[in-house]
Structure 1
Amino acid sequence: MNGGRRGRRIVFWRHGQTAWNVEGRFQGTTDIPLTETGLAQARRAARLLAALEPDAIIASDLQRAARTAAELSAVTGLDVAHDAGLRETYAGVWQGLTNVEIQERYGEVYAAWKRGEPVRRGGGELETEVADRAAPVVLAAVEKLPENGTLVVVSHGGAIRTTIGRLLELDPRSWESLGGLSNCCWSVLGEGWRSWRLLEHNAGTLPEPVIGDDV
């Protein structure tokens, strides 16, 4: 984070489409494969992300993320380090249910979660517990980057949102304000003078330089 230098970057890349995404089902830690559309999304995005010249790739070990990461590995020649700490939120009995089914069966808990209260959805993990396991994995990988290096983290929508919230030092009640990521879209964090900064969110094109008074 020296003057005139870009600093390190973290690219959080969500996996490609699955059948449960199409059906609107809560996947959680259920190991669902990519659809053919999901594979095509991963190949397209990998060609774009390769232009960022990443130095390292880490990924959730669930197959939808691992298969997505493999496409970037094929283009860049980088190995992928898989880590269970990057898995999606475990959501117990909610996994496999649609959003409508969850609201019908667990309406009060669902409403509390949407209000930002700490809730174990389906008897599973708290969002802060997801950040507790995922953020250290990301930061450990960042520490191994060269100066101005770029890390690509291939994970899941909920896990990415909570990890970004933790790295930006946001109050957990406000993590929902970050919004979701579309399949195979990404968010970019860069080193600022005092902390990490959100440079891109839910992007499907390469980041453009930001020219402004507060950079």
Structure 2
Amino acid sequence: MNMRFFLVRHGQTAANASGLFYGSTDVPLTPLGIEQSTRVGALLAEVSFSEAISSQLQRAQQTAELIVPVTGSDPRLNEMDFGRWEMRHFSHIAEEEPEAWQSWLDDWQNATPSGGEPFPHFAGRVKAVADELTQRQESGDMLIVAHQGVLSLLLAHWLKMPSDSLWHFPFRQDAYTMVENRGGFMLLRAFNDRSPFREEE
């Protein structure tokens, strides 16, 4: 058996339900978010996880604990810090900081949100996690609960795609994705799956 990584995006929060920019802001799950996470736990009930890690933000930790007891957390799995844009709607940012907003639209990989984290730094810390996990050659199943930006960058890196490919992977908040490590070759086995996980015969 190879190492398998089950990727789960945290459940809904009031901030993402309202369309707000938020990454480092520590917000809890909504009742729907709790319901979504509980459903994912039921989908993965047959998996015997050897490890379960999450970001250090409570929305990810809450989600993980509704699936399986968490064995660790990693700050590198935290979502990108949007600085002064945190908890603001894009329309307000565009109105109040038009130049900064336009710079972001024109070159989001190099334009940093006001007081926030540069994308290259964010992508670099996620890549470091991806590289470490690629080196894991033992057998076992690991649950990783994190955020849209983090999970999409993990997947892009594992599939040998550039960082700007993260937009191709919209992670649902009520599903799981599974990647199998075959001696350092990462194989995408399931994406946004909402069916109960079963071992192949």
Q: CA deviation at 1:144?
A: 6.1
Code of the residue aligned with 1:177 in structure 2: it is H
Tell me the TM-score normalized by structure 1: 0.78
Tell me the TM-score normalized by structure 2: 0.83
- Whether 1:109 and 2:91 are equivalent positions in the alignment is no
Q: CA deviation at 1:13?
A: 0.6
* Residues 51/130 of structure 1: CA separation in 2 closer, same or farther (3 Å cut): farther
1:2-81 equivalences under 5 Å are: 7-73=2-68, 78-81=69-72
Structure 1 match to 2:150: 159
* 1:133 paired residue among 125, 131, 134: 125
1:174-189 equivalences under 5 Å are: 174-178=165-169, 180-189=170-179
Which has more strand, going by share of residues?
2
Gaps of 5+ in 1: 211-215
Name the SS of the counterpart of 1:51 in structure 2.
coil
Stretch of structure 1 that moved more, 54-63 or 98-107: 98-107
Structure 2 match to 1:173: 164
Structure 1 match to 2:74: 83
Name the SS of the counterpart of 1:198 in structure 2.
strand
Aligned residues: 197
Identity of aligned pairs, percent?
A: 26
* Residues 203/112 of structure 1: CA separation in 2 closer, same or farther (3 Å cut): farther
Contact 2:7 2:151 in 1 (8 A): yes
Code of the residue aligned with 2:102 in structure 1: it is E
Code of the residue aligned with 1:57 in structure 2: it is A
Gaps of 5+ in 2: none
Contact 2:47 2:197 in 1 (8 A): no
Code of the residue aligned with 1:175 in structure 2: it is L
Structure 1 match to 2:189: 199
Name the SS of the counterpart of 2:192 in structure 1.
strand
